[in-house]
Structure 1
Amino acid sequence: MHPLDDLRHATVTVVGAGQAGLSAAHHLRLRGFVAAEGSAVSGSGSGSRSGSGSGPGPGPGSADTAPTFVVVDAGEAPGGAWQHRWESLRMATVNGIFDLPGMALPPVDESEPSRVAVPRYFTAYEEAEQLRVHRPVQVTRVDAVDDDPAGLLRVESDAGTWTTSALVNATGTWDEPVLPDVPGASSFTGRQLHTREYVSAAEFAGRRVAVVGGGISAVQLLDEISRVATTLWYTRREPVFLDHDFTSGSDGVDVERRVAEDAAAGRLPGSIVSYTGLIWTGYAREAARRGVLERRPMFTAMGPRHVVEADGSTTSVDAVLWATGFRPSVGHLDGLDLRGPLGGVPLVGTRAARDRRVHLIGFGPSQSTVGANRAGRAAVRELARDLLGRDG
């Protein structure tokens, strides 16, 4: 029997237990929501607080029951996407980790792999907060139970189906890698992989590797792979490097404003770097010093062992590494018709503009770890007001 087989209702369902989902769970507990339990429920946390039991039960906020929440996560273990990062990504070179609310990140060895250090922190956090995260649970579809815009939502998963009054979607982007459609890509007989599949540079030793993408991951991997292989860097646009940190001062405020405007309008969110530019980090400067950051325009086609350059010439390559980013993992929400005419999900704060029962966090302007924390708090503040009549 799966841990969620007997659980059939929770006032709030949180889908995803990365930074954003854990922040939401923390703030739900602070506002009096308790972990929903059924007779067969178990999870990674040690929480023992009682909830509504199985079955829909009384509505949220009624006299004889506390409002409940459940957190489900598709991963086998705590850590979100961090547990899948490439082996050589060390704590000294990750692009910022912000403390989870209520528990600071303990001192770590900067040489330790992030795929080890961050999941360990998330595991400790779930235990300390007594968050009963149920995993692995893959949510496949969410839709409305009936035509009442304030009615219940039905959440379908490989653990069964249950109802909820509100949904906090914190599924991130890891499961939706972007792979450009390049003519001839299927004929390429070398190796093609996305950054989500990358492990270490050793697998490319002595090869000719095309690295495609203009973001932080592309620059990190160019620096790393170029130490053991010949690398060629391709981007659609000329990369823009900055001499200062965009996260501070007026630049950071402007970035947040522009990302929030796109999210509110329902435009498909771009990569963070498309808003910020690249920073001249230590590894970027080292790569530039070695002549690695010589950017080529994006190739126009691929052959069995070559790419076709923008000028029509061909260049032989043994492997293509697509550092081309990710898109939000929100396909399971398509039954709610949340998308606007521009292809994205328009937001009002964290709430889907087309359905106030649904909040999306770790999405658009809250993709960063600090943004995810804020979004978790903001979503729960609105949920407490909508479901319980509590403000503040």
Structure 2
Amino acid sequence: MEVLESVVIGAGQAGLSASYHLARRGVRHVVLDADDAPGGAWQHRWDALTMSDVHGVADLPDAPVPPAEGHERANVFVPAYFAAYERAHDLPVERPVAVDRVESVPGTGDDLLVVHAGDRTWRTRTLVNATGTWRRPFVPRYPGQEVFAGEQLHTVDYPGPEHFRGRRVMVVGGGASAVQFLGALRPVTDTLWVTRREPVWRTEPFDPEAGREAVAMVEERVRAGLPPRSVVSVTGLMLREQEAEAERLGAYERLPMFDRLVPDGAVWGDDPAGVPGRGRRTEQVDAILWATGFRPDVDHLAPLHLRSPRGGIQLGATLATSTTATADPRVQLVGYGPSASTIGANRAGRAAANAVARTLSSRVDA
């Protein structure tokens, strides 16, 4: 069986960046993508999301993002950009290929990695994992979720604001996506905003220096082997011009997390007499939008035992090893932790390709 020098899993921003830099270094590789078409997670975003709504799309290496007028659907515009990039650089993408697991096979001479996808396998000396988070939506568990009679949706299933017109919607989550959803929903319907923590608002401009500081704080967690947090967890929240009307209507008057759900809404506090369905505060809602984030899509790496005792995959402590799994230096992670943003993904793709090249060179020397 052919032995590749590297396999990249995922063809989103981070995967394409890694493939570009691997190709420039002459590393023989393949990119395995689970989707039917180019675009990464962008192709799955809701139709109502336009280019004027997105927080920004970083340029792929050697290919600036085409100018957008703002009205274009993001789930069409960005995938078209990615598709053109794959063609222009002749990147070796195979799709649809859904990877099941990655194993290390001792006794194969160079201790190769074997990538499994159904009945297909690839053997490789190194691996770049770029699977992101989109396929791992996170919904916390709260009492009464199974009895709530209204609609419950996560970010991945968000159909746009018109779907909720005339219904009272409770948005749960304290991140940038929750702020954005409220900005779109409140002008067309009644909303409630519920978060576990008091939101921290950012008033000063978010310049490149602030971005680097935020990424550095997220890097500290993954270098310590902790599960990564989102960049916005350290940057704070900002309201954009398109959220001004929602703010005027009171969309960002936050409530603490409810204690339980009931068939027609949510309850805060325990009833002193212990009467079910009653409490210090009850709010009726017709739908719940769980803007509660995602988890890294890395279950297929479980056979490699990369997780630290602290729950995360520990990465290297230097810039050169910032994408390298300390438990197995053959494995690079991009789109993980600090590189989960589009800007961080490009830097991570370059760092991962450099690390792969060093690993291959050290084997040749050995």
Verify same fold: TM over 0.5: yes
Deviations 1:230-259 (A, max 9, x none): 11000011111112333433x333212211
Name the residue aligned to 1:350. Answer: 323
Letter in 1 for 2:291: A
Contact 2:225 2:314 in 1 (8 A): yes
1:129 to 79, 83, 89: 89
CA shift at 1:341, angstroms?
A: 1.1
Name the residue aligned to 1:326. Answer: 294
Name the residue aligned to 2:15. Answer: 21
Name the residue aligned to 1:46. Answer: none
Give the distance between the partners of 2:323 and 2:100, measured in 1 at CA. 22
Give the distance between the partners of 1:267 and 1:301, measured in 2 at CA. 29
> How many aligned residue pairs are there?
350
Contact 1:177 1:196 in 2 (8 A): yes
Name the residue aligned to 2:304. Answer: 336
Name the residue aligned to 1:376. Answer: 349
Q: Indicate whether 1:301 and 2:295 are aligned.
A: no
Name the residue aligned to 1:98. Answer: 58
Q: Residue 140 of structure 2 aligns to a residue in which SS?
A: coil
Contact 1:18 1:170 in 2 (8 A): yes
Contact 1:8 1:161 in 2 (8 A): no
Label 1:9 to 1:344 Cα distance change in 2 as closer, same or farther (>3 A). Answer: same
Tell me which moved more, 97-106 or 311-320. 311-320
> Structure 1 unaligned runs (5+)?
1-6, 34-67
Contact 1:138 1:159 in 2 (8 A): no
Label 1:165 to 1:301 Cα distance change in 2 as closer, same or farther (>3 A). Answer: same
Give the distance between the partners of 2:361 and 2:155, measured in 1 at CA. 43
Indicate the percent of aligned positions where both proteins have the same amino acid: 51
Contact 1:212 1:320 in 2 (8 A): yes
Label 1:149 to 1:183 Cα distance change in 2 as closer, same or farther (>3 A). Answer: farther
Query: Which consecutive aligned stretches of 4+ in structure 1 deviate over 4 angstroms post-superposition?
Result: 147-150
Give the distance between the partners of 2:256 and 2:242, measured in 1 at CA. 22
2:184 to 224, 228, 239: 224
Label 1:372 to 1:310 Cα distance change in 2 as closer, same or farther (>3 A). Answer: farther
Q: Indicate whether 1:114 and 2:67 are aligned.
A: no
Name the residue aligned to 1:138. Answer: 98
Deviations 1:175-221 (A, max 9, x none): 00010111110111111010110121111111111000111111111
Name the residue aligned to 2:274. Answer: none
Name the residue aligned to 1:214. Answer: 174
Name the residue aligned to 1:286. Answer: 245
Give the distance between the partners of 1:290 and 1:147, measured in 2 at CA. 66
Label 1:158 to 1:8 Cα distance change in 2 as closer, same or farther (>3 A). Answer: farther
| RMSD over aligned Cα atoms | 1.8
Give the distance between the partners of 2:161 and 2:254, measured in 1 at CA. 20
Give the distance between the partners of 1:161 and 1:216, measured in 2 at CA. 39
Tell me which moved more, 272-281 or 168-177. 272-281
- TM-score, normalised by the number of residues in structure 2: 0.92
Q: Indicate whether 1:74 and 2:34 are aligned.
A: yes
Deviations 1:363-384 (A, max 9, x none): 1111111110010101111111
> Structure 2 unaligned runs (5+)?
271-278, 317-321
Give the distance between the partners of 2:7 and 2:156, measured in 1 at CA. 27
Give the distance between the partners of 2:288 and 2:82, measured in 1 at CA. 33
1:360 to 321, 325, 333: 333
Tell me which moved more, 153-162 or 176-185. 153-162
Q: Residue 330 of structure 2 aligns to a residue in which SS?
A: strand
Q: Residue 362 of structure 1 aligns to a residue in which SS?
A: coil
Give the distance between the partners of 2:211 and 2:161, measured in 1 at CA. 33
Give the distance between the partners of 1:132 and 1:148, measured in 2 at CA. 25
- TM-score, normalised by the number of residues in structure 1: 0.86
CA shift at 1:154, angstroms?
A: 1.0
Contact 1:297 1:310 in 2 (8 A): no
Name the residue aligned to 1:38. Answer: none
